[in-house]
Amino acid sequence: MKLLMVDEEPEILELAGIYLNKYSFYDIDKVYSADKALECLRIKNYDAIVSDYEMPEMDGLTFLKNVRKSRPTIPFIIFSGKGRDEVVVEAFRFGADGFVQKGKNAKANFAELSHQIEIAVARNSAKSELKVKEQAIECSYNGVFLADAETLLVSYVNRSGLSLFNYGAKGEMIGRSLHDFLEIPDEIDIASDILCRVKDKGGFVGELKGRRKDGSSVHLRISIDMITDEATGTDHLFGTFVDITEQKEYEKEFLSYITEAARRIREPLFHISRSLEAAAFSDTHDPEKLRLMLLVQKKNADQVIENLNELNRAITKAKDYIPDEYLEYLLR
Burial 47-63 (b: 16+ CB within 10 A, else e): bbbbbbbebeebbbbeb
pLDDT of residue 311: 72
Rounded Cα distance, 83 and 109, in Å: 13
Looking at the chain, the domain(s) classified CATH 3.40.50.2300 span 2-137
List the chain residues with pLDDT less than 50. none
Residue 322: per-residue pLDDT: 61
Distance CA 164, CA 159 (A): 9
CATH 1.10.287 residue ranges in the chain?
247-330
pLDDT at 318: 62
| 3-class secondary structure, 10 | helix
Q: Delimit the CATH 3.30.450.20 region(s) of the chain.
A: 140-243
What are the backbone angles phi and psi of residue 88, rounded to the nearest 5°?
-60, -45
Q: Would you state the pLDDT for residue 77?
A: 96
Per-residue model confidence (pLDDT) at position 69: 93
Q: Mean of the per-residue pLDDT values for the chain? A: 85
Evaluate whether 152 touches 160 at the Cβ level (below 8 Å).
no
Neighbour order of strands in the sheet with 235-243: 154-157, 143-148, 235-243, 217-228, 204-211, 182-183
Return the axis-axis angle of helices 245-280 and 287-317, rounded to nearest 10°.
Answer: 170
Q: Please give the pLDDT value at position 35.
A: 95
- 26-68: pLDDT as tens digits: 999 999 999 999 999 999 999 999 999 989 889 999 999 999 9
DSSP-assigned beta bridge partners for residue 205: 223
- CATH topology for 140-243 is Beta-Lactamase (3.30.450)
Report the top-level CATH class of 2-137: alpha beta
Question: 247-330: which CATH architecture?
Answer: Orthogonal Bundle (1.10)
Structural contact between residues 228 and 235, judged by C-beta atoms closer than 8 angstroms: yes
Biggest alpha carbon distance in the chain? Answer: 126
Residue 240: predicted pLDDT: 95
The reported pLDDT for the residue numbered 294 is 75
